[in-house]
Amino acid sequence: MPESVENLEIWKCGIDLVKEIYEITRTWPREEIYGLTSQMRRAAVSVPANLAEGVGRGGKGEVARFAQIALGSLYELDTLCVIAGRLGLSDEGMLAELRKTVSSLCKRISSFIAYQKEHNEKS
């Protein structure tokens, strides 16, 4: 278990993802501020926030459970990227790159969850 959530690479990637989402949604139409903009920002913020909460609670089971919630937020974020693309809110190429980032982080968090569960069973 890391001493601090800030030592987790997946947490750092989650923070970077939040910044990227805020930058992308900053240019969206004002009427989306309480709609898709807010939804995407909340889903992105949920990723590192849930990783931090899991680490803060201590046990490996809690770490895995909150990482699973973070993973769910990433899947939500991916769907919201598809919707944003269909609505023409951002450049398709930029959204495709964002979806690659989300997919990569999904794989990393999934591996982290598996590791936590495996080591929880051995404890």
Helices (H), 1-123: 9-25, 36-57, 60-86, 92-122
Q: What value does the mean pLDDT of the chain take?
A: 93
Which amino acid belongs to residue 8? L
Give tens-digit pLDDT for 23-71: 999 999 999 999 999 999 999 999 999 999 999 988 778 999 999 999 9
Distance CA 3, CA 83 (A): 38
* Mean local confidence (pLDDT), 68-90: 97
Task: Give 47: exposed, middle or buried? Use CB within 10 Å, 0-12, 13-18, 19+.
Answer: buried
Residue from 74, 80, 85, 59 nearest 13 by CA? 74
| Predicted TM-score of the model (pTM) | 0.92
Distance, in Å, from the CA atom of 36 to the CA atom of 84, rounded to the nearest integer, reads 8
The highest-level CATH class for domain 5-122 is mainly alpha
Q: How do the domains of the chain map onto residue ranges?
A: 5-122
> Does 121 score more than 80 pLDDT?
no
